[in-house]
Amino acid sequence: MQIVRFIDLGKCGYQQAWDYQTGLHRALIDHKLSHRELTPKTYPQDHYLLLVEHPPVFTLGKSGQLSNLLLSEPELRERGIQYFPINRGGDITFHGPGQIVGYPILDLECFFTDVHRYVRSIEEVIIRTLADYNVEGLRLTGYTGVWCPPRPAAGRGEAVDEYWDKFRKICAIGVHLSRWVTLHGFAFNINTDLRFFDYIVPCGIAEADKTVTSLQRETGSLVGMAGVQERLKHHFCQVFECEFANV
């Protein structure tokens, strides 16, 4: 069973977390190259899961469209939002207060060498965590991430709100791999201010039947971030069949 070093970065700026993440990523690759004559799993390899809460920032994946950012540079500065083009897959997304961002840095040759399985495994961690809060999460064919399904009208009371008739994205996922070592990860909306998503076309998805949501919105009350973090760690160990060591 692989040991994953868990690091809680707390509240941390995007650039600082990015520099730290890429430093660990580079160290794992260098370690692999120094043992290239050996078969994976026959020598110790470090793996990490970083959890962090960023100040407001938009990030644009390498395949994304800048037109999906709906604010100009002056408007971004006025609202105190940073912007970074980065090397993950996917389009534009938001990170900010009330959101848990996870950066798994894993040598997949010690787990499984299947990118699609890796993304599905992250989705499974989120789906299981949502179930702990009695919230249904699902995969949507053709779309990465975790979604909440439309709610039946009978379960919403008398007020009609088209928001609940839509598929609602609660967790975005974007990854990058180099020599089977993972980079980037997931952004899980817990108590996130969803108004920030009005400034972008989230993940480049403009369909009228899709929107974004948060665990707070789905449950109707504020959710303890520390509790969600512990549930995420628990399900991560189950899905990836690993154990955590705190750093």
Active site residues: 203
| Number of residues that this document lists for the chain | 247
Residue 185 near residue 175, CB atoms below 8 Å:
yes
- The HSE-up count of residue 224 (CA atoms within 13 Å, CB side) is 5
DSSP letters for 136-169: --EEETTEEEEEEPPPPGGGS-S---GGGGSEEE
Distance between CA atoms of residues 209 and 117, nearest Å: 27
Residue 135 near residue 146, CB atoms below 8 Å:
no
Tell me which residue of 131, 130, 136 sits closest to 155, measured CA to CA: 136
Rounded to the nearest 10 degrees, the angle between the axes of helix 115-132 and helix 225-240 is 140
Bridge partners (DSSP) listed for residue 92? 60
In this structure, how many other beta carbons lie within 10 angstroms of the beta carbon of residue 1? Answer: 8
Match 């989705």 to its residue by tokens.
Answer: 123
